[in-house]
Amino acid sequence: MKVVLVGTDPNALTDALEAEGHTVSVADVGNRPGLEEAGIHEADVYLLTEMSQATSIAVAKDLAPDLRVVVYAAGSLPDFASRQTDLVVDPDLLGVEAVAEEL
């Protein structure tokens, strides 16, 4: 599975995903150029790790409407982003290995 991760990765989620056999590309900023460079058009999952970049969910879904959106961050999403998100996981409740395995 191809995963585009947007944001920082303090919990080493990228390593856990790759250990499960997923291909991961990272975009530090979830704007259109960053997402396209990270390969959003070929991605299966959009994984956001920073609530401050929640607006990037709409951009990602615009570029790849069938994308599965997962948020792995503490806090809450704005309403507009919640409607486009398939799964929200709090890092304090579920570790990176479990998230990687379930994807």
CATH number at 76 reads 3.40.50.2300
Q: What percent of the chain has a predicted confidence (pLDDT) above 70?
A: 100
Q: What is the pTM of this model?
A: 0.94
Structure tokens at 18: 């790759």
Identify the domain containing residue 9 by its residue range. Answer: 2-102
The DSSP code for 91 is T
- Taking only the tens place, the pLDDT of each residue in 10-41 is 889 999 999 999 999 999 899 999 999 999 99
Q: How far is CA 85 from CA 16, 19, 23, 32, in A?
A: 21, 25, 21, 18
Q: What secondary structure does DSSP assign to 11-75, as a single string?
A: T-HHHHHHHTT-EEEEESS-SHHHHHHHTGGG-SEEEE--GGGTHHHHHHHHH-TT-EEEEESSS
Structure tokens at 92: 């304090």
Q: What percent of the chain has a predicted confidence (pLDDT) above 90?
A: 94
| Residue 5 banded pLDDT, cuts 50, 70, 90 | very high
